[in-house]
Chain A
């Protein structure tokens, strides 16, 4: 689904990412890679299949959009170093022709030089371009000349139907000055969002994005 923000065009994708058309750039929030391996090391049996799913979806995105750049909105890697980092760097090498940027999130505790070695551009706080700010934590105070893209909270929305039905799905939240992307990782929780004035919510199933008024 395409939306327009400050005369730029953004595609909201059912794989839980945003594609910025003017800049051929993918925006991806909260992958939390490494979390699964981290759990397994703690003796909790999580099959690796969940981790594979993340990479399958990443490949699908890169192919479908033909993106030339990816901005990770923080929490790319959930843990201290483990073998899943190697999987990520191998994936990164396969896609060496794509520029990748990361703004550091609260879970990104790996030393910065590891991101650099993996050929990522690193921004400790905000990355800014053409009046758009890309960051991890959503902001509470706004400079109205700028528009913010953030992650961190893993927004979900529950929609209710007649007959006491309900469906809870990850969502994009677009406010006047800020957009929050859903978490990309499969192994993460969710923070429930409410409707509000000047806010658009878009829920996403695995195949489609829907606009909730």
Chain B
């Protein structure tokens, strides 16, 4: 073995599938975990915890270091890294003395009308952005999505052709070779501007970068600081970051971000706990690598923070799962993976071992197709769902170019340069980020005193006309008030509620409210939400003011039950289960080059979910799916806090004639879910009647 090994959590786990892993690691002296905040809070962090627990078991003298610049819960981060059995020497936290100086500046429109009320592309301020870029030698422009970065690239190159050759694009779907070239060119100072996504906000040291621009809200102060840190990346140097809002309400976020940076408020990274899918994978990994003795491993994993509370019953379920499949799958030979021989759990089948090694890891991505030019150069990858909808001759923007689709063959999309055709944009799947609780509390304060104190911040001064319009059509709520707006349009009856808590919490609340209202009478709601509030839309009128006097809409009583009762929680858990099933090894993702279509995997994971729910009362993996929905998707803890706060607030009911600046962005949101208590047959009947009218 080499003296020093630089490795990812996935590759580290891979080393444990080798029979001689004890020989490899027994004399390991020090482990340094860089960017610990990026791992903690994800299942890759859990993988790291498990591997560290094993390494400490092999060598109790092992030294562990963690490095992070942007983490709120430092003490917890330390505990997770070092495990539950403290090492002989007391752990210490070393902080740098010099405070990093970060200056935040907003890129403002001349008039607030320049910015749209909603949307996230935000190219309207492109001239102002180019002004900033021209002032420094090298600039990184961060966007929140890959599609957004493609749009910005196009817009700049079309308006400012002089950027050709000194501007580059960098995002996760581009080919590794292209990304390496961009990173090298940045390092050598050859590029004036790089448009990138989070793909560039970690790790690499880009000394020549002078300026960072963030387009669109990063939704978290820590993430913003992390990106700011890409500029002035030397000790003592100052970091400068510009924030470019993409819609008018983001001017509120601009002020809040700056306040967060000044007060140095960083978000916590809550560690993942009880991830049974990762543990199941780890058990099979060890079984492939020479086997394990169960009592010894049971004690060892309790050293990991994420499994400190695991009980014997859960452990035995897992042992059963890896040896026979779960209770509902035992009949199938496909799921017998691990055998128990002389008290040791081992994998003897070479086929099982090979399949396991090929599908290890915790990153379950949508299946992607490679994109290449006819003459052979690889450009990157697009999602299968996008590629399969293309017809020959269709043009699309990719890697900053306008390319024409030629054909798909053997998981590769062949393209050529598109001449004179207008391309359309690729959509990449990916979840939208949600506002952090720290940032949302700043925003609530901003909103509350926006009218009293408009000239305090220049961003708010710009927003003045918009805020006045909100006040005129409805009202701007104070800190102790909750605003509910109601209006009727051609689409139907809208109810808007504005807790300002971030889209994930709002998703949960929307489901909860819709469920509680739908218990009163058969009704169908379509739900939409953004970071400021959520909407319940229906074809029937609901007198929300009268209803809220009769039933306790915002109560935390039966919160979890009510969410589970709504069909949406089941649907969400079903979707979550896809990832869990893949990590736990329930679904094989295919041999390299012979990838099973994702659509098929999706169908089968949902069937598995249905069967396991039906035939097994206590399937840990199904339970985990529900738990993950509550914890990560709906942010139950935050939702409880928000509901508790709402119960102390005065509710302002406003009937508006037109949508307001607050409600309009939610209304036009096209990602919607439905919640219904009407019978399917009745719903169809009603719809058909509407066709006839």
Residues of A near any B CB (own CB < 8 A): 39-40, 42-47, 49-50, 159-167, 169, 187, 189, 203, 205, 207-208, 210-213
A163 touching B491, Cβ below 8 Å = yes
Interface residue? B690 (CB, 8 A): yes
CA distance in complex: A45, B605 (Å): 8
Closest residue to B329 on the A side, CB-wise? A45
A95 CB to closest chain B CB (Å) equals 27
Give the total of B residues in contact with A, Cβ under 8 Å.
43
**Between-chain CB contacts (< 8 Å), 11 pairs:** A39-B600, A42-B596, A45-B586, A159-B684, A163-B491, A163-B493, A164-B492, A165-B687, A205-B680, A210-B684, A210-B685
B539 touching A203, Cβ below 8 Å = no
A167 touching B680, Cβ below 8 Å = yes
Contact with A along B669-693 (1 / 0, CB 8 A): 0001010000011011111101110
B185 CB to closest chain A CB (Å) equals 43
The 7 closest A-B pairs by CB, nearest first: A163-B492, A43-B588, A162-B539, A47-B611, A161-B687, A163-B539, A46-B604
Closest residue to A49 on the B side, CB-wise? B611
A162 touching B680, Cβ below 8 Å = no
B596 touching A45, Cβ below 8 Å = no
Residues of B near any A CB (own CB < 8 A): 328-329, 332, 334-335, 355, 491-493, 524-526, 537-539, 581, 586-588, 596, 599-601, 603-604, 607-608, 610-611, 614, 672, 674, 680-681, 683-688, 690-692
Known: A159-B691, A161-B686. 14 other contacts (CB 8 A): A39-B600, A42-B596, A43-B587, A43-B588, A44-B601, A45-B608, A49-B607, A49-B614, A161-B683, A161-B690, A162-B492, A163-B537, A163-B538, A213-B688
CA distance in complex: A212, B524 (Å): 20
Chain B at the A interface: mostly helix, strand, loop or mixed? helix
Taking a contact as CB atoms closer than 8 A, the residue among B526, B539, B600, B681 that contacts A205 in the complex is: B681
A176 CB to closest chain B CB (Å) equals 21
CA distance in complex: A127, B588 (Å): 41
**Which residues from B are CB-within-8-Å of A213?**
688, 691-692
**Which residues from B are CB-within-8-Å of A212?**
688, 691
Taking a contact as CB atoms closer than 8 A, the residue among B603, B614, B674, B690 that contacts A187 in the complex is: B603
Closest residue to A207 on the B side, CB-wise? B681
CA distance in complex: A73, B531 (Å): 50
**Which residues from A are CB-within-8-Å of B329?**
45, 47
**Which residues from B are CB-within-8-Å of A45?**
329, 332, 334-335, 581, 586-587, 604, 608
CA distance in complex: A99, B121 (Å): 62
**Which residues from A are CB-within-8-Å of B686?**
161
Closest residue to A162 on the B side, CB-wise? B539
Closest residue to B493 on the A side, CB-wise? A163
Taking a contact as CB atoms closer than 8 A, the residue among A50, A159, A166 that contacts B607 in the complex is: A50
**Which residues from B are CB-within-8-Å of A208?**
681, 684
Beyond A161-B690, A163-B537, A167-B683, whether A46 also contacts B607 by CB under 8 A is yes
A208 CB to closest chain B CB (Å) equals 5
Beyond A163-B493, A205-B681, whether A189 also contacts B599 by CB under 8 A is yes
CA distance in complex: A40, B687 (Å): 39
CA distance in complex: A210, B689 (Å): 11
Beyond A39-B600, A43-B355, A212-B688, whether A165 also contacts B539 by CB under 8 A is yes
